[in-house]
Amino acid sequence: MSRIKLIVIVLLAVAAVQLMLLLGLTLLFYQVTPKSTIIQTTFIGRMQSILAGIRLADHSLDFLYRGSPPPEKLPQYRIDIDAEDLAKLEEEIAQNTDVFIAEDSRFWLPATFTADGETYKVDIRIRGDRFNHWKYQKKSWRVKFQKDHLLQGMRQVSLIIPEDRGWFAEALNSFRARKLGLLQPPMRFVQVSLNGSKPLLYLEVEHWTKEMLEKQGRPGDINFYKTGGVNTSSFDGWDPIFEDMAYWSKFTESVASPHDSYEELAILFSLMEPGAHERPDFEEKVATLFGIDQMVKWYAHSLLAGNLHVGGDNLRLIFDTSRGRFEPIPWDVFLTDPRPLLTLPGNPLWDEVFAVPQWRVAAYRFLWEYLGNEEQVNADLQEAEKLRNLIERAAYRDPQKLPSNRQIKRDLDIRSNQVKANIEFLRNELQRSELLVTQRVPVQSERQQGVGLILDVTTRGPVAAVLSGIVLPLSVTPAEQILLFRDDGNGVLDFADVSVPLGRVKGVAQDSVYFDTRYTLVAPEQPEAGPSGEPLQVPHTHHRFFLKGVTAGAQDLPLTLDLRNAVTEAAANVIHTTVVDPNRLEHSIPGFP
């Protein structure tokens, strides 16, 4: 009898473990399900009753999450929509089984909007293309106010479910963009009571209108370009926006373009063609259309977020016809895990612009200065913490949210960690200037040209280096005129090689002379990338220099080279220095050299 009891207990224990594992896998499955747009086109999308049961089980523990009191009270709105109109909208949505919303479902509904005791007659519709904005109980909304009764000067506002924006991620990156002087729409967190519901948490963003631009100090005659949401095909909606201008449209158009023409966009597209950075007029055109300082800040802003979210349907560009210049608006900038700097920048425009060595170095130097400023970094960290504290309790108490409080807590922790991780990762990446050095004794034919030493320096890693100086011991008998030439790529000293200025500095050491220079050894261009965009191999760029006016033998080598990180100014990491004297093979290999 006791043996039977033991067997039963063991079987029950095994069953209990299996049940726990099944529940764990089910929760894991649910964790990723609402984040994937593929759900709508697979069998998962037809399992709504099962998913609803899983969500209910997950939400049953919501009461355990409280959140600390917010540092300030969020603005409160009330929206009232007729029940019949809402039922009509839900009926229309129920018929849409695609990832992207049908245009027929974007109809406007009359509503009443209340803020600070003042009531507004408004029109409201669902906002956002993908299903997470409109499929579930809590939706994203676009609210349009009457022209003669604006909300704090706003004609239209978007109320976006905060999980679509990484909770506080976009608000943080909007804060950073404003610090960098980049244009941003007004943005803040609010709570909305919909038809008498308890407060729902939203991210409020003023919509892309001329009124918004005027308040941001951009009152000129402007073409306001957008990408995505063209919805002209039966495909999923992932428009290849860099393939054709027809995928672009405008929020507002310039009066100087009576035919709604796109001529400045055509010029921009010419700058995005593969290899455009090699054209002689490329740098001049980019500097004219954007301004390099702003382009550098735009790219650096994305790197701070670990995000390259400017390659799809999130480009926002204004073109001021009076100045003939584009201005970017960072939009929907998420927080992601860090990515190596050798990863391609993220869209064809940046790929070409930052293939220009001096602009890539300028972006990295800007980042290094930003990250080296503790006041700047602390401001970012404090803002991230403030934003989280501002919304955490409101998110937990939102009665219509799709994710459970367990998921919200996990997501908030991930975003907080990503802010810090990206900062540390970038600091480490910007210090990765690696070099391989070979010092070669010239052969007889090269000596006849006056070559005293050949220096081969190979750069690898994401950051360029600088040849800052050369220390020549007196034993190599430096002449009065020391000359340094950068090889043009054919491997021999000739008239096409570039002369590198040298300045003689005394007093470095009693038995040597220091020759100062500032020649930048550019880092490798972006290598071939894998599916994730990260490099498939470590790229190398080779640089050869000819030193004239010295007489050096193998016994004098290696000479000391002052090689520095072009961004941090610290000593570069010289992995290895090799000495080569081909003359020593003269007697062992007949006819050589």
- Least confident span in 39-48, 308-317, 559-568: 39-48
Quick one: pLDDT band at residue 587, thresholds 50, 70, 90? low
Q: What is the dihedral of CA 469, 472, 473, 478, to 10 degrees?
A: -150
Quickly state the pLDDT bin for 312 (edges 50, 70, 90).
Answer: low
Mean pLDDT, the chain, rounded, equals 82
Q: Are residues 365 and 466 in the same domain?
A: no
| pLDDT beyond 90 at 578 | yes
Which of 405, 429, 453 is a domain's end point? 429
Tell me the pLDDT tens digit for each residue of 374-417: 999 999 999 999 999 999 999 999 999 988 889 999 999 999 99
**Claim to verify: residue 254 and residue 137 sit in the same structural domain:** yes
End position of a domain, from candidates 408, 429, 450 = 429
- Asked whether residue 591 is domain-assigned, the answer is no
Are residues 454 and 573 both part of a single domain? yes
| Euclidean distance between CA atoms 455 and 550, whole angstroms | 13
pLDDT of residue 37: 46
Are residues 161 and 139 in contact, defined by beta-carbon separation less than 8 angstroms? yes
Residues 284 and 197 in one domain: yes
Same domain flag for 422 and 459:
no
Its sign, for the CA torsion 231, 237, 242, 243, is negative
In a domain, 336, yes or no: yes
Same domain, 334 and 390: yes
> 76-81 and 187-194 as β-strands: parallel, antiparallel, unpaired?
parallel
Residue 527 above 80 pLDDT?
A: no
Which residues have C-beta within 8 Å of that of residue 494, sequence separation ≥ 6?
Answer: 488
Q: Quick: pLDDT tens for 546-560.
A: 988 888 777 888 888
Same domain, 412 and 509: no
Q: Which of 586, 484, 491, 592 is nearest to 544 (CA)?
A: 491
Q: Which amino acid is at 437?
A: V
Q: Are 297 and 182 in contact (CB under 8 A)?
A: yes
The answer as to whether 152 is a domain residue is yes
Alpha carbons 306 and 570: distance in angstroms, whole number? 24
Task: Identify the domain boundary among 407, 429, 451.
Answer: 429
Same domain assignment for residues 527 and 461: yes
Short-list 134, 157, 431, 430, CA closest to 303: 430
Q: Please indicate whether residue 532 or residue 254 has the higher confidence score (pLDDT).
A: 254
Residue 159: φ, ψ to 5°? -110, 105
Measured CA to CA, the distance from residue 81 to residue 61 in angstroms comes to 31
Are 237 and 356 found together in one domain? yes
Average of per-residue pLDDT across 164-182:
92
157, 151 contact by CB (below 8 A): yes
Domain count, the chain: 3
Q: Identify whether residues 7 and 142 lie together within a single domain.
A: no
With 0-12 / 13-18 / 19 or more C-beta atoms within 10 angstroms meaning exposed / middle / buried, residue 260 is: exposed
Asked if residue 406 is part of any domain, the answer here is yes
Same domain membership, residue 511 and residue 385: no
Is 71 a domain residue? no
Q: What would the mean pLDDT of 284-298 be, rounded to a whole number?
A: 90
**Which of 475, 446, 567 shows the shortest CA–CA distance to 455?**
446
Whole-prediction pTM:
0.82
Higher pLDDT, 450 or 101: 450
Does any domain span residue 488?
A: yes
Which domain covers residue 473, as residue numbers?
A: 434-585
pLDDT at 300 over 70: yes
For CA atoms 359, 361, 366, 370, the dihedral sign is positive
476 shares a domain with 409 = no
Of 153-167, 253-267, 274-288, 486-500, minimum mean pLDDT range:
253-267
